[in-house]
Amino acid sequence: MILLDGKITSQKITEKIKLDVQQMTAKGFRPPHLGAILVGENPASKVYVRNKIRLCDAVGFNSTVIRLPKDTSEKDLIDQVNQWNDDDSLDGYIVQLPLPDHIAADKVNLAISPKKDVDGFHPHNVGRMCLGLPSYLPATPQGILTLLEEYDISIKGKRVAVLGRSNIVGRPISILLSQNRKIGNGTVTVLHSRTENLVDELKSADLIIAAIGSPNFVKAEMLKPGAIIIDVGINRVEDASRKRGYRLCGDVDYENVKENADYITPVPGGIGPMTVVSLLINTLKAAKKEVYG
């Protein structure tokens, strides 16, 4: 079994981005600038934004965070989005999800300029991705592709099972892995809560992307020997033996599965770090105008 170490891989990419930024500034260009809008006091969201800003500092990016109260109106949030769309000093930005219930995330995403949509959620970028045109790829799918490439794992002609159909992970990664690209040309099946004979589908897969948000759902008996396992899930489960009262686990029963897999990602330390560094990759592309010119 080979561990697909997202922490080490993301550190390598971080060093490359840092060098790239140094070369940009040495030529007289300003550093890339990433913004984040955080609405409310969601603890996980606050941690995610803090980690992203720390990584910006580490590579030499400029960063700006706007923190808005939970009762911010949808109109006021979209007004802020429009202000940032017109701010030429800002290369890209994110609106951290989830948003409070009274704000429609789809409306907010549609308001973000595709040129600054470094999360890759705007339909314009999704459409370009589907057509194989230059675009900002969603961070988690991009992180998966990068990790597979780092370990020189080819999926050409292999059967791929994507467990989950969200617009953030499941749908985009199923499209990307089926495309004619370096890490692609797989035969992809999307599995979900209405899939019949789900275990049989998993057993036939050479590569499984687990992204359903269900702790330890995927068991060893559901897999073919030698499968490649990418665990996107990150779940909190109660654990009285831990100081925090909980531990983190993925959608895959790691201890039960690892000996039957050829490759597997850990949780934490797998796809999580790759997702964060992918946001920096998109911001660097935005600063260099590699997608939209």
Active site residues: 52, 96, 119
Q: Count the Cβ atoms, other than its own, within 10 Å of residue 232.
A: 31
Q: Which amino acid is at 30?
A: R
Query: How many Å apart are CA 15 and CA 157, to the nearest integer?
Result: 33
C-alpha to C-alpha distances, 59 to 38, 52, 273, 280, nearest whole angstrom = 22, 11, 15, 9
Angle between helices 271-288 and 6-26 (to 10 degrees): 20
Which has the closest alpha carbon to 79: 121, 39, 124, 119?
A: 39
Q: Is the dihedral of CA 183, 150, 9, 222 positive or negative?
A: positive
Query: Which residues partner with 231 through β-bridges?
Result: 210
Q: Are 227 and 206 in contact (CB under 8 A)?
A: yes
Q: Are 227 and 210 in contact (CB under 8 A)?
A: no
- φ/ψ of 280, rounded to 5, equals -70, -35
Which has the closest alpha carbon to 262: 152, 119, 185, 162?
A: 152
Q: Report the length, in residues, of the chain.
A: 293
Q: With H, G, I as helix, E, B as strand and everything else as coil, classify residue 51.
A: helix
Residue 231 C-alpha from the chain's centroid = 12
Q: Which amino acid is at 156?
A: K
